[in-house]
Chain A
Amino acid sequence: MYDFAYHKPGSIADAVKILTDDPEARPISGGQTLLPALKHRLAHPTALVDLSGIAELRGIQRDGDRLVIGAMTKHYEIQTSDVVKTAIPALAKMAGNLGDTQVRNRGTMGGSLSNNDPAADYPAAAMALNATFRTDRRSIPADEFFQGMFATALEPGELLVAIEFPIPTKAGYAKMRNPASRYVMAGVFVAKLADGSVRVAVNGAGPGVFRQEEMEAALAKSWSADAIAGIRQDPDGLNGDIHGSAEYRAHLVGVMAKRALAEAG
């Protein structure tokens, strides 16, 4: 790992200032992805800005019909939160099934979403639940936030502060994990929102999270596994590698969607 300067600001404003003044500085939240990347010298930041000292970035709150999760909230806190388990049980379950215990004790929701790994779990939840990303300067809807592999709408120096999830009437998630790496081969999050609209998000299978609009339309008419039984995910553009072909992943999308529906009830 190359060396870097280390800063631990106490406020969002201070963190943004450091990141703005030095474009080569990078924020670090739980570090469970960034530190392995730095060890491989995939990045060479001049400075790391540790966000763990900023209290306003943490916490879980129910605000009317929305669940608001601070960007620095750890997976383990989300997994075990009674507020999350009551409001969006599928989200608590997702948090408890990613990485391992030690990763969940350090890693954060905001860190994972800002990184937007195609195989990460949270992007599927945020996309399907139509989450809003609150940053230090604006609010970004999920449909605009995710911009393909490891890319988001965040500008240089812009910090994710909290994620607001509209509380759905039904939600479920299922994923097929690579048996060795445990990363997602294909995952599907299905959600029926309070206004009756349906959103279906696919992660792991493509270069970034995407919505499966054919399934959304079918499920809006009839919320059942039968409604999507005839829908074939197009393999064009999906990931194909030594772990599975694009056709295999396309098939998995259909299977995971049905399992996610069963989870959602």
Chain B
Amino acid sequence: MPQVSLTVNGKPHSVEVEGRTLLVELLREKLRLTGTHVGCDTSQCGACVVHVDGESVKSCTMLAVQAEGADVTTIEGLASADGTLHPMQEAFREYHALQCGFCTPGMVMSAIDLVMKHPEGLDEKQIREGLEGNLCRCTGYHNIVKAIAAAAEVMHGRRTELAQAAE
């Protein structure tokens, strides 16, 4: 059986997998990091999005063995050790950007990648288009878009308070 060595949320792991083991299966079933969800399992819904070497990917559409040597961040790796939430998580809470919460881990991971790729800032259209790979069946997206706009201002140091960014 193949062995895969990778770093997840700053911790090194070496895990025995099958060739066909998906990255999301490694995360959820071997490492018990169940914050990453499986929604559609057909690379459409985005509930399984994690960061691999800083880029958002659908972990249901990547083999665990393809993550050999990679630095993986999941939703569990965002908050500080003292429990302080990442600005994106804080914004999702502040703006009530979730209802059932199933899509939220993937939304947050995609949103962080989107914001990091646009240091110049993002307008509403860019945010909506940037969420093309993430489906939410509850919210209608409005509050998710607001949360990402607010978090972007904080993450790029243009604002310190989420409330100030609210329109």
Q: Which residues of chain A have a CB within 8 Å of any CB of chain B?
A: 1-6, 8, 28, 31-32, 35-36, 38-39, 48, 50, 52, 76, 99-103, 105-106, 182
Give Cα distance in the complex from A198 to B123, angstroms.
37
Q: How far is the CB of A123 from chain B (nearest CB, A)?
A: 21
Some 11 contacts from A to B, beta carbons below 8 A apart, are A2-B20, A4-B20, A6-B65, A38-B20, A39-B41, A50-B66, A101-B113, A102-B46, A102-B61, A106-B62, A182-B132
> Which residue of B19, B43, B57, B61 is within 8 Å of A6 (Cβ)?
B19
CB neighbours (8 Å) of B114 from chain A are 101
Q: How far is the CB of A43 from chain B (nearest CB, A)?
A: 12
| Contact of A1 with B62 in the complex, beta carbons under 8 Å | no
CB neighbours (8 Å) of B133 from chain A are 99-103
Give Cα distance in the complex from A35 to B19, angstroms.
12
| Contact of A48 with B43 in the complex, beta carbons under 8 Å | no
- In the complex, the number of residue pairs spanning A and B with C-beta atoms less than 8 Å apart equals 70
Q: How far is the CB of B40 from chain A (nearest CB, A)?
A: 10
State whether A101 and B61 are in contact (beta carbons under 8 Å apart), knowing that A1-B20, A31-B66, A182-B132 are contacts in the complex: no
Give Cα distance in the complex from A4 to B43, angstroms.
21
| Contact of A6 with B56 in the complex, beta carbons under 8 Å | no
Q: Which residues of chain B have a CB within 8 Å of any CB of chain A?
A: 2, 18-20, 22, 41-43, 46, 49, 55-58, 61-63, 65-66, 68, 110, 113-114, 130, 132-133
Q: How far is the CB of B100 from chain A (nearest CB, A)?
A: 21
| Contact of B110 with A6 in the complex, beta carbons under 8 Å | no
CB neighbours (8 Å) of A105 from chain B are 55-57, 113
| Cβ-closest chain A residue relative to B109 | A102
Give Cα distance in the complex from A1 to B17, angstroms.
14
| Contact of B63 with A35 in the complex, beta carbons under 8 Å | yes
| Cβ-closest chain A residue relative to B56 | A102
Give Cα distance in the complex from A100 to B128, angstroms.
12
Q: How far is the CB of A48 from chain B (nearest CB, A)?
A: 7
| Cβ-closest chain B residue relative to A45 | B19
Greatest chain B CB density within 10 A among A4, A5, A48, A105 is at A105
Give Cα distance in the complex from A188 to B70, angstroms.
38
| Contact of A6 with B41 in the complex, beta carbons under 8 Å | no
Q: How far is the CB of A104 from chain B (nearest CB, A)?
A: 9
CB neighbours (8 Å) of B58 from chain A are 102-103, 106
Give 9 new A-B contacts, CB below 8 A, not counting A50-B66, A102-B46, A105-B56: A2-B20, A8-B65, A31-B66, A35-B62, A39-B42, A76-B55, A102-B110, A103-B43, A103-B58
CB neighbours (8 Å) of B49 from chain A are 102
Give Cα distance in the complex from A101 to B19, angstroms.
26
Q: How far is the CB of B156 from chain A (nearest CB, A)?
A: 18
Q: How far is the CB of B153 from chain A (nearest CB, A)?
A: 20
State whether A31 and B110 are in contact (beta carbons under 8 Å apart), knowing that A6-B2, A102-B49, A102-B57 are contacts in the complex: no
CB neighbours (8 Å) of A106 from chain B are 57-58, 61-62
Give Cα distance in the complex from A143 to B110, angstroms.
39
Give Cα distance in the complex from A76 to B113, angstroms.
12
Q: How far is the CB of B29 from chain A (nearest CB, A)?
A: 15
Give Cα distance in the complex from A52 to B114, angstroms.
24
Give Cα distance in the complex from A106 to B49, angstroms.
12
> Which residue of A5, A8, A35, A48 is within 8 Å of B68 (Cβ)?
A8
Q: How far is the CB of B135 from chain A (nearest CB, A)?
A: 10
State whether A101 and B132 are in contact (beta carbons under 8 Å apart), knowing that A31-B62, A50-B65 are contacts in the complex: yes
CB neighbours (8 Å) of A31 from chain B are 61-63, 66
